[in-house]
Amino acid sequence: MTSTARRPDQEVVPVATTARAALYLRVSTSKQAESDLSIPDQRRQIESYCLSRGWEVADTFVEPGNTATDDRRPAFQAMIEAAMSKPPAFTVIVVHSFSRFFRDQFQFEFYVRKLAKNGVRLVSITQDLGDDPMSVMMRQIMTLFDEYQSKENGKHTLRAMNENARQGFWNGARAPIGYRIVAAGQRGAKIKKALEVDPIQAETVRRIYRMALNGVEDRGPMGLKAIASWLNENNIRTRDGGRWGVGAVHQILTRTTYIGQHRFNTRDHKTRRPKPESEHAIMEVPAIISEVEFETVQRSLKARSPKMMPPMAVGGPTLLTGICFCACCGGAMTLRTGTSNTGKEYRYYTCATKARQGVKGCPGITVPMDRLNDAVIAHIEKRLLEPVRLEALMDQILERRDDWVAQRRLHVADLERRATEAEAKLKRLYEAIENGVLDMSDPSLKDRIAELAATRDQARGDADRAVSHIEKIGPAITPESLRAFAKAARKKLRNNDGSFARDHIRAVAQRVEVISKTEVRIRGQRSELLRTLTAASGVEAAVLGVRGFEPKWCARQDSNLWPPD
């Protein structure tokens, strides 16, 4: 006679007739828990099962509205802790079905074996299996199928929720600050929800964007920390009455919801990793701010990011930090200080290459900080921000933009003509059907109607998208708007206290090259200048943006050299 040894992980402690049992009752969603049907039914059936076997019910663990795809469940963890005590508080865990315990096959087997080592067994009243190898295999197949079914249900549920969002309905969770949830209609027994603007909180959102764009009383754009500090100091609380933090301000300034496009399905619910934009569902909601304001703030945040610009270039006190370079070696010009015999402190812009490597690295140039700052500001005010000069700089790029707009408008007109023709043909077909000329049962007629309707809808959709694209490039720039922009920009270059507004300077000048103690070249990109002009919308100098590093708008060196003729 031979005997087969059983592996330790297959050992199961037999359940005695006087076993102490723990009941585990679970439903997946809070709505199921509120209906008060499934959990009472599970309790009734499990208690009856225990009674028929003479088991004592030692404890009951109820999980109202938690998924079984992971172990982040309070009642579940409390039950496992009690089962793993020495000695265990009970010797058997009874569930209605294995899917109530876990819908992840690997995790299911992990916990079953963990419990078995401490003398606790898992029993399903609807899937009663033995302890032999065949029963273990059947249990594993069942739990694997439960996992597959859970993933399939999740996929179909997510697809339905994505479509619900695309139709403009709210899927649940708390509304973003500035909005509130309202009933939008009823479909069968289900009440559809949507978002509407909350007038009180929406004003806080608009205030935060105004501070990011122009600061308090137009003193210059503010960063995240400065905005949060100002809100807290002025006793402007969050929706819950708490204090503002950098994270909350950043979320408001980066959420597309505020321009009317709430994004659903942006992250994986398990890993929290971002999903590609192609998987996002866009839900249309009432806008609180304009797209121009939003895009301008995004460029500002990107410009202030340490990945794009060193922190000192954003938050430091030096005006030209990050944009001032030595024309000889291309290295950055950094701040250096010195003190005279009388104790007076002097500040200079000095070539960083020379400071690190000496004269062999670069002959180096040193310029008094105040003198260079004044010269750059004066040159921008008197030469660059002149309407005639701006018009000359923008002439070619505006001409190309106008040509592009003209071509797109011709394309829109063609699309609208195609949609109108398709609509007219459909009307003639409908009239022929009403007059009895055509037989509605003809299958080719249905195909023709569907073809014309598809052509009409596609042409209209393409036309709407093309018009939207044209509108996004901003208003037309005229000599009048150039004069208004130049006037507002010159005013905003200097703060009320006499200091310089660094963010406004960098919007129109992205690189300052020091050639000698008497010559400085100011460079920038025409495209960035156009974006600044567009964002300004006439007189509002919203001069924020992520600047490039390639010089573009320096048309002639002699016209941008300091000092002017």
Q: What is the 3-state secondary structure (H, E, C) of 446-467?
A: HHHHHHHHHHHHHHHHHHHHHH
Q: How far apart are CA 117 and CA 94, in angstroms?
A: 17
- Mean pLDDT taken over the chain: 78
Return the percentage of the chain with pLDDT > 70, whole number. 77
Q: Average the pLDDT over 527-532 and give the result.
A: 61
In one-letter notation, the amino acid at residue 52 is S
HSE-CB of 195 using CA atoms within 13 angstroms: 28
Asked if the model's pLDDT at residue 250 lies above 60, the reply is yes
3-state SS assignment for residue 423: helix
**pLDDT on residue 516:** 84
**pLDDT on residue 168:** 86
Could you tell me how many helices (H) and strands (E) the chain has, helices first? 18, 15
Q: Average the pLDDT over 276-290 and give the result.
A: 87
Q: Which helix (H) or strand (E) holds 297?
A: helix 291-304
Local confidence band at 477 (pLDDT 50, 70, 90 cut-offs): low
Label residues 218-227 b or e (16+ Cβ within 10 Å = b).
bebbbbbebb
Length of the chain: 565
Domains of the chain: 20-128 (3.40.50.1390), 179-308 (3.90.1750.20), 379-542 (no CATH)
CA distance to 439, 440, 446, 468, per residue, from 443 (Å):
9, 8, 5, 38
Higher pLDDT among residues 354 and 403, named by residue: 354
224-233 helix and 246-254 helix, angle to the nearest 10 degrees: 110
Over the stretch 487-514, which tens digit does the pLDDT of each residue have?
777 776 666 555 556 666 666 677 888 8
For residue 499, indicate whether it is catalytic.
no
**pLDDT on residue 209:** 92
**CA nearest to 257, candidates 281, 223, 239:** 281
Q: Average the pLDDT over 434-454 and give the result.
A: 80
Sign of CA dihedral 494, 507, 389, 515: positive
Higher pLDDT among residues 154 and 166, named by residue: 166
Q: Average the pLDDT over 94-100 and give the result.
A: 90
3, 28, 300, 481: the catalytic one is 28
DSSP string, 549-563: SS--S---GGGGEES
**pLDDT on residue 560:** 47
**CA nearest to 197, candidates 176, 180, 172, 175:** 180
**pLDDT on residue 291:** 87
Q: How far apart are CA 416 and CA 418, in angstroms?
A: 5
**pLDDT on residue 48:** 92
**CA nearest to 143, candidates 129, 164, 161, 159:** 129
**pLDDT on residue 92:** 94
**pLDDT on residue 130:** 74
Asked if the model's pLDDT at residue 479 lies above 60, the reply is yes
Q: How many CB atoms lie within 10 A of CB 325?
A: 21
Torsion of CA 462, 467, 469, 474, to 10 degrees: 180
Strand pairing class (561-562; 520-523): antiparallel
Higher pLDDT among residues 310 and 225, named by residue: 225
In one-letter notation, the amino acid at residue 494 is R
Sign of CA dihedral 353, 356, 362, 365: positive
**CA nearest to 225, candidates 311, 137, 143:** 311
3-state SS assignment for residue 493: coil
